[in-house]
Amino acid sequence: MATRLLAWPDGLHAYDVAQGPLDELAAAGASVAGSVGELAGAVDLLCVMVRDDDQVRDVLDQALNTARPGLTVAIHSTVAPGTPARLADLAREHGVHVVDAPVSGGPMGAAEGTLAIMVGGTDEGFAACAAPFALLGTKVVHAGEAGAGTRMKLARNLLHFISFTAATEAQRLAESAGLDLKVLGEVVRHTDAITGGPGAIMHRDTAAPIDPDDFWFGVFSHVRALGEKDLAFAIELADQLDVDVPLARLASQRLGAGLGLPATTKEHA
């Protein structure tokens, strides 16, 4: 991410507790600061990517002592839901804006500048970072007030890691069925790139039950019919092979309601 920001017209100033990354950035043309405080006094936008809440608070404490007037601090780390709003209130007392701006897209997206960046903060705070963030990602969204970016990242990662867990369940089933797991993985990545994967159903602006006259009622009814059928067959195969598939059973029970559809006669029973 720092390397991408070397293209910013005003240049890149950098600081890290590790010398190796700083040497690399300096060789690429960055100005290296001697501390967080020195950095905060030299820039208009301070991007923070550290490990956890404690480190984020530590960086902000150091930055507030020497911050240039009007400084915007962008927190890219994924932190606890309540942390961004508390830090934004603290920073406001010093005339500093804080936005939470967690990212999604992994090392590949960081290297290619194709990250998704979910920003929570004031309109002024978002405006201060929107242009430089365009160097980092191809999807930059203003999610709402301080903390909204973090809440969006947590919802996104909820899906991410539940999907990973479901993938491990599918792998166990496939392995027991004598299939090549690497080929299965290739098929999954290929088709998800076409359909959008789990995000393919995420087009409505509400999770409320769907009215029968709504366009999505017919679409999701078809999704449920296919899903329940295929899940039933997968569970049948799992039973034959003595493979435990608790997520598949849960999905079979909850797919319709999750899509916003009314319970079937079978579900009522």
List the catalytic residues: 153
Residue environment code for 97-136, b if the CB has 16+ CB neighbours within 10 A, otherwise e: bbbbbbbbbeeebbeebebbbbbbbbeebbebbeebbeeb
Q: Could you give the count of Cα atoms lying within 13 Å of 264 in the half-sphere of its Cβ?
A: 12
Other beta carbons less than 10 A from residue 261's beta carbon: 19
Q: How far apart are CA 184 and CA 191, in angstroms?
A: 11
Q: How far apart are CA 43 and CA 28, in angstroms?
A: 18
- Cα-based angle 242, 245, 251 (whole degrees, multiple of 5): 145
- The residues that bridge with 89 in the sheet, in sequence order, are none
Which three-class secondary structure state does DSSP give residue 140? strand
